[in-house]
A and B are shown apart, each in its own frame.
Chain A
Amino acid sequence: MNCQEFDLIVLDLVRGNLKATAARRDGMAHTSNCRGCAERLSQERVLSAGLQAWARSSGRGQAPERLEAALLAAFRAETPLRAAHRDTESHPARLKFAAAGILILLATTLAFLEDGGVRGPSPSAAGKLSVSPIVAAPQIEFKSGERPVKETPLPRLAAQPKRQIARRADARTASNRVDEITTGFIPLPYGSSLNLWEEGPSAKIHLIRMRLPRSALLTTGLPMNEERANEPVLADVLFTEDGLARGIRFVN
């Protein structure tokens, strides 16, 4: 074995990967004849020992306990939503039914607009930031574990200006194309008792996107990056007609 060949196996010698092999025997024989390689082997061993000492001293490193609590809270918030998704996925017929309903509704709206049935949004509605439930169709995941998707109440279209709805639908479709990552909806404390699906067709919800202080994450039990505490977070807040915020989801 020459020095080049020794260089190829020195790491395996140190790491103990060459136990009782011819390569090990040859390597050790080489070190007895070559001072340079013997020195090299010795330095590698010292380095390994130094690294192991560091590994031992840092081996009892644990993440702070608060992290576990925050992650468990996040798990709790996420689990019902995943279950809801599973429920939806396991009933493709329901999904098809809902999609067909949406298509029929859109077609009807378009036909109505072409007939000139709408002259424009009413001044009172123009200032509203609300999004009708059908436009916000993906939000059926909210509490959908309790009711099947096909039972989603249809929105009260008559009360909404049609052109505005069409515009919102377009905007919504466009925004869906953008890569947005959202958490699931997290019920807010006083919203937990409200079951929107039990309210039937009279349920009217408004979804408003807003910037909130990052500390809002903590109030919902999610972990917050303290280093970015000054940066606001984007959130969709779900309001009911009584003006109370019932749920929130965070958008990335």
Chain B
Amino acid sequence: MTALADASTNHLLSRMQAGDEAAFAELYRRLQGKIYCFALQMSGSASIAEEVTQEVFLTLIRDPRRYDARRGPVSAYLYGIARNCVLRSLPTRRSDTRIEEEGCAEFLMVQENPLGDLTRKETIEEVRRAVLSLPGHYREVVVLCDLHEMDYAEASNVLSCSVGTVRSRLHRARRLLLVKLKSRSADSPAGVTLQHLARCTR
């Protein structure tokens, strides 16, 4: 078991191809959190995130040979599948793109200072809503580069586009986010402003 825990994802994948269930389980445990979070942050829906995670790993089970190590790490390959699944699920569900509270509320856990945490929760919620209201191609670069801390090259690998495209989309997406957050701060009953955000996230 220790050998599996230390093994590289590529090694796990090749063992999985040979029918090693433990290797698949280790690979799943190692990567499912990232994939699930990515899908959740992209869709705002825990049920879509679950569905996407399932689809990603089923694709890996059915046809592991589709992965080409020369094109990047296993995680980037899985992110790519997840991204396609999320984008497929979004247009059909545009009508119910209401942002689910379930699945997300659990992440916004209250800590020591209830008032501070409440403000922090509201702040994060504002940011989350602003990101979810971005068009898909802007949202994905924000999620990958800012939330999953990928560099431009890694994100371009996942998105199958050039580094320059990632860079310009991120630039534009963040501009949009700032505009949205500013306009929300004027309307928001919680009174979340960028200055407020600055205080809360310090």
Chain A contact residues, CB within 8 Å of chain B: 11, 15, 42-44, 46-55, 57-64, 67-68, 70-72, 74-76, 78-79, 82-83, 223, 225-227
Contact = CB atoms under 8 A, between A and B. Distances in A.
Interface stretch (B4-12, B69-77, B194-202): B194-202
B21 A50 contact: no
Given A61-B40, A70-B54, A225-B51, A51 B123 contact: no
B107 A58 contact: yes
Nearest to B195: A46
B25 A63 contact: no
**B interface, over-half SS:** helix
B147 A50 contact: no
A47 B177 contact: yes
Contacts of A70: 54
Interface residues of B, number: 56
A72 B21 contact: yes
Nearest to A222: B58
Q: A-B pairs with the 9 shortest C-beta distances?
A: A49-B201, A63-B36, A55-B147, A46-B198, A61-B37, A51-B146, A50-B127, A58-B107, A79-B19
A47 B33 contact: no
A11 B33 CA distance: 27
Nearest to B128: A54
A75 B59 CA distance: 11
B157 interface: no
Contacts of B177: 47
A50 B123 contact: yes
Contacts of A79: 19, 21
A59 to B, nearest CB: 7
A55 B61 contact: no
